[in-house]
Homo-oligomer: A and B are copies of this chain.
Amino acid sequence: MLRTLMRAKGWDAVVVTGSDPHCSEYPAERWKQVEWLSGFTGEAGDLVVTLDHAGLWTDTRYFIQAEQQLAGTGIALHKMRVPEQVPIPDWLRQQFGDDALIAVDGLCTGAGFAQSLPGTVLSVPDLLDRFWTDRPAIPQTPIFTVDPGETRREKISWLRAFLRGQDCDGILLTALDEIAWLLNVRASDIEYNPLVISYLLVTRSEVCWYVLKDKVEDQDSRATFSILEADGVRLHPYSDIDYLPSEFQGRLFVDASSLNYQLYSTLASDGVALEEGTSPVGLRKAVKNAREIAGMREAHLQDGVAMERYLYWLEKSVAAGREITEWDAAVKLGQLRGDQKDYLGDSFETISAYGPGAALPHYITPQQDAPRLEPHGLYLCDSGGQYIFGTTDITRTVPLGPCTPLEREDYTLVLKGHIDLAMAVFPKGTAGCQLDVLARNPLWQSKRNFGHGTGHGVGFFLNVHEGPQDIRQNFNRQPILPGMITSDEPGIYREGKHGVRHENLILCTEAGRNDFGEWLQFETLTLCHFDTSAIVTSLLTEDEREWLNAYNRRVFETLRPRLGEAVATWLEQKTRPI
């Protein structure tokens, strides 16, 4: 069908990306076009259809999954993040030179990516709508306000000061977490991400929120809208963003990394003077204020209680010989988080993986026929919760019984890396890429490594992945600043055998000033003990052992008042110093 349309229109290729109109990392169902067209469900994948070829581009993480899901579809797998990779723009250039007519759904294609394509790029909004008859609507969930210690009026004033500094008349916010942060609003438009699908224009005198969907709004949203209108926010239909390019007067600041091609090209063709740059909201949002930090601490208390109850249940159940699958375990953890009073949902899909499954960093626990947990070896669980005042993300690797020497060594060396990064003290101005090796060095010393980043930023009751800082082997110059919350999650993955990852969230804090300058350090927010039974103690330095004992003791003492007697007694045992 698509090819018939292509022939009729004279398109040489159609490029379908796995993104939404806001370049979100995780799109809502409405924008899962790649999945609808190809059946591929991986989190990163783009499709190209020509008259005689159809291909899916994805990276190392999803090769096996893609091969299975594409079998019989006639869609070829194009591998990325391999030395011989041919990215989509290069591939199209090889096929058509610079003369192609390429159609994209400009709404779901980032402006930067579209500009990298060769030939003429035609933006066709909702291109697949004529075939995708049961396509889900734009999400519309109840919108509510939050109180993170700074009012939206304060934030808008700050943003206007930025506009004056940039000599701009307005800024268009397109990244959904930036809009939620600025307006102090949340909803559930995207699974796991408490966001409102919308655009926000802030000018020197107006705040225009393009948020109204077709349907009647619910009561919560109406209440929220009243509050915002009282703060001077003007509400517009979501689709009225189409009129912005012809109506806006003056110089407009945009961040191309979250701007879709349709909007970008309309702004450009309507002659709006664009100032392209990095939105200042990202960095400001990453530096948490005192109230947000206090909230994150409370979220981690509740999350720690759920996690410890979970680990207690897990150990007792496996010891009792009960039949538990990876799926059962994930469900149980969800229930225990659900018992916490301020829990609102998970912050991402729980990875519950036993043995070989844990060797896939992005393993998806199957609901049907999930592997059973056995009373030996390592079980890995990576999960997180959204709380009204914070977001959590934690990985524990749990020995379910006797472990092989290799499992124990891997467990210990990854923990060494985790601890060495957590113990870091560093001068103000240091970037995450300059700290990353602390978490890898213990593994590198025995020629082991892991293929993902060591740390990502985490939002305040927002996305579990946010920038601009990170801790990985890149050249990101963003310094780690006091108030930033980042994960610390080294790992190791042995195909067909086991996987280990130890993850806490760490908060950057001030550590004083002396003759050598200003110093920063990390405070661990996550509260859940590390199991010491799989540790090869001789591989730890004295400092590492002391850190571990102090951390486990702090976990026990902090959580004890919130745990029942059975779990508390058990946790006291589990946290005995080594």
Contact = CB atoms under 8 A, between A and B. Distances in A.
B444 A424 contact: yes
Contacts of A131: none
Contact of A434 (B433, B448, B517): B433
A473 interface: yes
B438 A426 contact: no
Nearest to A512: B447
A425 B449 contact: no
A425 B444 contact: yes
B516 A434 contact: no
A38 interface: no
Interface string A399-435: 0000000000000000000001001111100110111
Of the four ranges (under 10, 10 to 19, 20 to 34, 35 or more), the interface on chain A belongs to 20 to 34
B433 A449 contact: no
Nearest to A476: B475
Nearest to A543: B445
A433 B433 contact: yes
- Interface secondary structure of A, over-half rule: mixed
Interface string A523-536: 00000000000000
A102 to B, nearest CB: 28
A172 interface: no
A436 interface: yes
A123 to B, nearest CB: 34
Contact of A514 (B427, B447, B512): B447
Given A425-B445, A435-B437, A475-B477, 14 more contacts: A420-B441, A423-B445, A424-B441, A424-B444, A425-B444, A430-B473, A431-B475, A434-B434, A434-B473, A444-B519, A447-B514, A447-B519, A475-B475, A495-B515
26 contacts: A420-B441, A423-B445, A424-B441, A424-B444, A425-B444, A425-B445, A426-B437, A426-B444, A427-B444, A427-B449, A431-B475, A433-B433, A433-B434, A433-B475, A434-B437, A434-B473, A435-B437, A444-B519, A447-B514, A448-B516, A449-B516, A449-B517, A475-B477, A494-B515, A495-B515, A541-B541
Q: Top 4 closest A-B pairs, CB basis?
A: A449-B516, A475-B475, A425-B444, A447-B519
